[in-house]
Structure 1
């Protein structure tokens, strides 16, 4: 059996595998919202309530991907649902790549400046790397086109703007508090990178017809 089987259409679109991914991502989404619980409570108490939507970045990305997998399991019939599924898929790819890379980068940036990593940090590294990888693996199976990257990019940039205008970005390691401007620029640049990478993978999938 070729190693390429492990990222083949035959394996990844198998209904057992799709259901496994659905439940794993759903569990991760729920855990992620619980992880952000304290910051969400703080935001509700100290900021305008609408800003709480922009606090749990990674769990929301995971939620988009979970919905995208559900639409692979049950393809929508109506035009309205098809449009919604395309939006969820584009958001799933862009935000999963963006926040998967972002979280890992921030964890190691904090460690490089003296933050002591514990087992939860390594768990977050593994789970966020998995977010980015699975999103790129599934670009070729999702049905959204390049135009749907526009609303996905708009949402992700809006999230960045709200995060760093109102201070609702994910809490950083103490070692990075004096690097906030650099983190902000990195976050914005990562949004651009994630959108471009999604576009490249879409083009490759279309060219190879896979």
Structure 2
């Protein structure tokens, strides 16, 4: 089995889609539990914007469920693509920096790097099925930049001492991790399914 056939199976085969949906649902639930202590002290108007990574994986769960049902939701596809890359890569970078900062590699940190790295990869894996258009792009752009404002202007970022002590640098990184996936969303269309899988 070559990589194209494997890739095609991952995003079109219903059995595999059910498996990926289950895995992502479990990860999403774990993510919301992870944020539960912060959410318990977060003002109501900010609650939806605090658990960034589990919300990104929730978007993907909705996308996969739609595919299983034979439907597409382009706005949620755009939200999933952009946020999976943004928060997946963000978490990988933050945990690697913390390993270096504290001179310690932890099991939890390695788990977070692996799980969030997979999140970012899934954005690219499912991209060939996405219906790319401007309206979903604009909505995804508003979502991620609004999220940045909530995180770094209203200070609702994840509770880590490292982030608090490097807030300007982390906010700058977050800005570019919003720009990059938005750019990719519009510019990877040349690799869409009609060219990858010859559909």
Q: What TM-score results when the alignment is normalised by the length of structure 2?
A: 0.91
Instruction: Count the aligned residue pairs.
Output: 197
Q: CA deviation at 1:51?
A: 0.7
Equivalent in the alignment of 1:21: 20
Residue by residue, what CA displacement relative to the aligned partner does 1:60-118 show, whole Å, maximum 9, x if unpaired?
A: 00000000001111134xxxxx6xx1111110100001100000001111122125332
Task: Please tell me whether residue 125 in structure 1 is matched to residue 120 in structure 2.
Answer: no
Runs (4+) off by over 4 Å: none
Task: Please tell me whether residue 178 in structure 1 is matched to residue 165 in structure 2.
Answer: yes
Gaps in structure 2 of 5+ consecutive residues: none
Contact 1:55/1:169, CA 8 A, preserved across alignment: yes
Equivalent in the alignment of 1:6: 6
Contact 1:140/1:201, CA 8 A, preserved across alignment: no
* Inter-partner Cα distance in structure 2 for 1:176 and 1:131: 21
Contact 1:72/1:142, CA 8 A, preserved across alignment: no
Q: What TM-score results when the alignment is normalised by the length of structure 1?
A: 0.87
SS in 2 for 1:195: helix
* Inter-partner Cα distance in structure 2 for 1:176 and 1:165: 13
Contact 2:89/2:120, CA 8 A, preserved across alignment: yes
* Inter-partner Cα distance in structure 2 for 1:122 and 1:209: 32
Please give the root-mean-square deviation of Cα atoms over the aligned residues, in Å. 1.8
SS in 1 for 2:102: coil
Equivalent in the alignment of 2:70: 75
Correspondence for 2:58 among 63, 79, 92: 63
Residue by residue, what CA displacement relative to the aligned partner does 1:142-196 show, whole Å, maximum 9, x if unpaired?
A: 2242441111111010000011111111123x34432110000100111001111
Equivalent in the alignment of 1:102: 90
Equivalent in the alignment of 1:54: 49
* Inter-partner Cα distance in structure 1 for 2:152 and 2:196: 40
Contact 2:59/2:79, CA 8 A, preserved across alignment: yes
* Inter-partner Cα distance in structure 2 for 1:208 and 1:5: 13
Task: Please tell me whether residue 201 in structure 1 is matched to residue 198 in structure 2.
Answer: no
